[in-house]
């Protein structure tokens, strides 16, 4: 299935191909602040529809994950593995997807416990 997503202002728009069967409420120091619900997909399944210049990047700790955000409205639509990593994954914030009933998506914490 093809999902469409965007930040609040629309400067960051994207499509994701895959089956959304669950998400993770990550408890790392940044995700717990943002409240993002993350869906892990191969990076190739994520297609950006806008120029990448509008998207900011935040990294911390060992800098293996690039936390992306819209420079205009500050929304955090996704993160992705750093380009230095061979097989890259993207971590889609399903709160930014269109037409997804969040209550119907099973959410687990980082340790696999249902929430
Ligand atoms: Zn925006």
The alpha carbon of 64 and the centre of ligand 1 are apart by a number of angstroms equal to 24
The alpha carbon of 113 and the centre of ligand 1 are apart by a number of angstroms equal to 32
Rounded to whole angstroms, the Cα distance separating 84 from 53 reads 19
Say if pTM beats, i.e. exceeds, 0.85: yes
Q: Do 108 and 115 meet the contact criterion of CB atoms below 8 Å apart?
A: yes
Specify the pLDDT at position 73: 96
Measured from the Cβ of residue 96, the count of other Cβ atoms closer than 10 Å reads 24
Residue 21: both structure tokens together: 């069967």
The alpha carbon of 50 and the centre of ligand 1 are apart by a number of angstroms equal to 11
The alpha carbon of 112 and the centre of ligand 1 are apart by a number of angstroms equal to 31
Q: Do 25 and 113 meet the contact criterion of CB atoms below 8 Å apart?
A: no
Question: Over the chain (115 residues), what is each successive 10-residue block's mean pLDDT?
Answer: 97 97 89 92 96 91 92 96 90 97 92 79
The alpha carbon of 36 and the centre of ligand 1 are apart by a number of angstroms equal to 16
Contacts of 82-89 with CB under 8 Å at 24 or more apart are 87/42, 88/42, 88/43, 89/40, 89/41, 89/42, 89/43
């Amino acid at each position: 299935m093809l999902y469409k997503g965007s930040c609040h202002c629309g400067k960051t728009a994207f499509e994701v191909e895959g089956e959304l069967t669950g998400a993770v409420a990550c408890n790392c120091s940044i995700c717990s602040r943002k409240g993002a619900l993350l869906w892990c997909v191969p990076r190739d399944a994520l297609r950006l529809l806008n120029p990448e210049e509008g998207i900011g990047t935040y990294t911390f700790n060992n800098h293996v994950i690039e936390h992306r955000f819209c420079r205009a409205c500050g929304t955090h639509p996704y993160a992705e593995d750093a380009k230095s990593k061979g097989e890259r994954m993207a971590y889609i914030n399903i709160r930014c997807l269109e037409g997804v009933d969040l209550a119907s998506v099973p959410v687990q914490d980082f340790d696999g416990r249902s929430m």
